[in-house]
Chain A
Amino acid sequence: MKIKNVKEFEEFKRNIAKRKKDIVISVSSGTCGLAKGAEEVFEALKKEIEINGLEKKIEIKATGCHGFCQYEPTVVIKKNDLEVILINVNEKDSKKIIESALRRKKSYTPKEIKEFVSKQKRILLENNKYVDPKNIEDYIAIGGYTSLSKALNMEGKEIVEIVKKSGLRGRGGAGFPTGKKWDMCRNQKSDKKYIICNADEGDPGAYMNRALLEGNPHLIIEGMIIGAYAIGADEGIIYVRSEYPLAVKNLEIAIKQAEEYGFLGENILSSGFNFKLKIFEGAGAFVCGEETALISSIEGFAGEPRLRPPYPAEKGLYGKPTNINNVETWANVPFIIAYGWKWFSSIGTGKSKGTKIFSLVGKVKNTGLVEVPFGTTLREVIYEIGGGIKDGKFKAVQIGGPSGGCIPEKSLDKKLDYEEISESGAIMGSGGLIVMDEKTCVVDVAKYFTNFLRYESCGKCNSCREGLNQMYAILDRITKGKGKLEDLTLLEELGEYIKKASLCGLGKTAPNPVLTTLKYFKNEYLAHIKEKKCPAGVCKELIEYSIEKEKCVGCGKCNEVCSTGAIDLENYKIEKEKCIKCGACYEVCKKGAITIK
């Protein structure tokens, strides 16, 4: 059904509210949840409801990721004001869950989740718990598209001013002021303008955008329509990576529904504004996260970045003024319109306003999606929200993906703030936080990122292509115990050169993982070079596996998994000549009897 104007929209919202059922059960069904059996849980619960004839009383929905990734599958039961969160749910529990949902009189949150959400301020993520991404009415029921309706009654210039005053900055990495970017594009005179949503989330270890795209696609779509109206664009493209099949699917459904309901298309809510939105699937290239490469890619070419100026705001897609923002940036827009710039700018710190979503992963106790106001410290995120290190001692936190850096213990009181993070040599980036403990080798991590980038570089600039290749060669020999002391100066020199001589953002930040680890963990490099040792026990050429007789219970599991027959159980020995250091025995030994030297 098409909603023709604001009056019809208001009436429609009232009707939806009437249809609400007493109990709503949400099963977190993002990619993580599904991998851990969310679909089975959903089916079992649905069956249970049907068996008991409770369809009119209980509504069940498969929502996007709730962000409690560690404890998937998770289920949220909402009964009027009462909320019950269940973690590590098994399909066999379905009967119990339905029974307790009917009886419940008190809210319940498991202590792990309490800890995890304690310091969070969930604005963008909160609705992932309540919205079925495949149902636009769910989104409308929580106030969705109301901001659009409000925005269409304003002047485009007014909206740009609000966004400017809110202090919203690009969430893709560099933190460019969004309002300023919109203004540049709005001021261009052109018969045609485009807006693009950069959903090419390529940073390894980061999946905030996936959670939003999968779980609440209409939020992004609404943000884009408002932005398009403010800028004066009539066509939008969501550039989403094909590695996210569920996100693509949910976006397709959402766009179709938004068209059906009249939020996309001609004369939206009788405002006279026309806007169409399409999806472009990225074909798998990290460099296409760079906006000029992304444009090349949409135009059907290889994703090679272009020289700026001209900026996309002047000459972007097909030579027309184009405004590109990241998923999370667009997602903030409906909230700013709904609650005003004053509200938004009251959250956060210094020049960084609002909240930021991080994906907290690695060797931390609670992993998952964390949304905190800017200004929260890294220590709070890792120790209070994340619950600290799983087992072992903290070594570093990697922030900002391949363009970012490793931050050590002594800098953990740094605030999550664009400027403060940059001072440390890392960047805020899109929001990946990977926690590393003593068993993570920083030289190996630096090598990992360099290896990633040397292949993800488009390969055009000599400095980026050959520079990273040489950097990798040096890191490789260090991890093999063949490094020289001069290599460290050479790495620094190379790093500076690659940053300065390369064209695009990829090259200009590519040396950060190496430069930050050199700055904060020089001793670990020196251990590899001087003592030919990997203190973390990671670099294969520098370690040896052995069996600790006292801890060994003789279960023989190690022998079972060893593919080369290197384990001599009788003598508690691992034969050096046969061992290929695959680590299978180490992974499988529950007694900790296999040690690394």
Chain B
Amino acid sequence: MQERCYYDKMKDKVEIKIDGKELIVPSSATILDVANEIGIYIPTLCHNDALKPYASCRMCLVEIYTNGRKRIVTACNYKVENGLEVYTTTKEVEKLRKINIEILLAKAPDSKKIQDLAFKLGVSETRFKKEKGNSCILCGLCARICEEIVGASAINFYDRGNKRKIGPPFGEPSEDCIGCGMCAYVCPTNTIEIIEKDGKRIIEPWGKEVKMKKCEKCGNYFIPQPLANKLEKEFGLKDAFKYCPKCKNGKG
């Protein structure tokens, strides 16, 4: 018996099986897309629907069979194909996810999100050496959003292997940063911090300081100047940021 497919009029359809459910799905979908659509839970950390899948956190591992061959793959970037069989809760998968979160817990022991996910997966303590100070799990969400959505590419990965880091080039505040704060918004471990004071916005740990723009009516600071400039220029929104949202709507 085939389950109802969730896109009725799709052009490129493929037939797959996920946890025993037979489905017809668009060929452009990933395993994670399908699972989300039909309510199968697959844990993720480095995934964001607005961004291209990156598969660095390895949280979304699933077991698949293609042409009778078994593989363990990441659900977030594996495209569905005809005849694909997916199992999301096998013993092996559960074991791998557990040790994966255990390792992440050692990397970012104080992160609420990691702690919660560990709890959800039945892990309460890590057997691995805990790292102090730096809670970044190098998921890359900050750098990816900075490039793909903001278009600033102010931060990126550097070096490689165990010395891999994320930050601005040369470890100095980047001239390309517009202070939008998207990096802090997407960070799952709260490693990136935004501090606003005295008409300035500081983004740590990048050490970036940007000026805030003052509302011409009420005098409150409300948007980073470089961000306002970028939006005005790129979207032709001339004078769009003269007043703060409150004053603009006459509520100031």
Contacts and interface: CB of A to CB of B under 8 A. Distances in A.
Interface in B34-57: 54-57
SS class, residues of chain A in contact with chain B = helix
Given A307-B55, A493-B99, A497-B96, A462 B137 contact: yes
Contacts of B57: 462
Interface stretch (B103-111, B194-202, B221-229, B230-238): B103-111
Interface of B: 54-59, 61, 72-74, 77-79, 81, 92, 95-96, 99-100, 103-104, 106-107, 127-129, 137-138, 157, 159-164
Contact of B104 (A466, A486, A490, A500): A466
Interface of A: 285, 287, 302, 307, 309, 453-463, 465-470, 472-473, 486, 490, 493-494, 497, 500-503
Contacts of B160: 285, 287, 302, 455-459
B74 to A, nearest CB: 8
B162 A455 contact: yes
A473 B56 CA distance: 22
Contact of B138 (A456, A459, A472): A459
A467 B162 contact: no
A490 B127 contact: yes
A302 B160 CA distance: 9
Contact of B103 (A462, A502, A503): A462
A456 B163 CA distance: 10
Contacts of A486: 127
Nearest to B127: A490
Contacts of B127: 486, 490
Contacts of A456: 160-161
Nearest to B98: A497
A302 B103 CA distance: 25
Contact of A470 (B129, B159, B164): B129
Contacts of A453: 161
Contacts of A473: 128-129
B114 to A, nearest CB: 11
A461 B46 CA distance: 11
Contacts, number: 90
A465 B161 contact: yes
Interface centre among A462, A470, A490, A494, by most chain B C-beta atoms within 10 angstroms, is A462
Contacts of A502: 58
B96 A465 contact: no
A490 B126 CA distance: 12
Given A500-B72, A501-B72, A461 B56 contact: yes
B230 to A, nearest CB: 26
Nearest to A307: B77
A465 B140 CA distance: 14
Contacts of B161: 453-459, 465, 468
Contacts of A459: 138, 157, 159-164
Nearest to B54: A460
Contacts of B157: 302, 459
Nearest to B97: A501
A255 B77 CA distance: 40
Contacts of B92: 500
A494 B96 CA distance: 10
A463 B163 contact: no
Given A470-B103, A494-B99, A460 B162 contact: no
B78 A307 contact: yes
A302 B58 CA distance: 20
Given A460-B56, A470-B128, A497-B99, 12 more contacts: A307-B55, A461-B56, A461-B58, A462-B104, A462-B137, A462-B138, A463-B103, A466-B104, A466-B106, A466-B107, A500-B72, A503-B55
B186 to A, nearest CB: 17
A463 B58 CA distance: 7
Nearest to B137: A462
A501 B78 contact: no
B100 A501 contact: yes
A62 to B, nearest CB: 37
A552 B66 CA distance: 68
Contacts of A457: 160-162
Contacts of A458: 160-161
A470 B164 CA distance: 15
A34 to B, nearest CB: 31
Contacts of B95: 497
Contacts of A455: 160-163
A159 B79 CA distance: 34
B56 A462 contact: yes
A594 B54 CA distance: 55
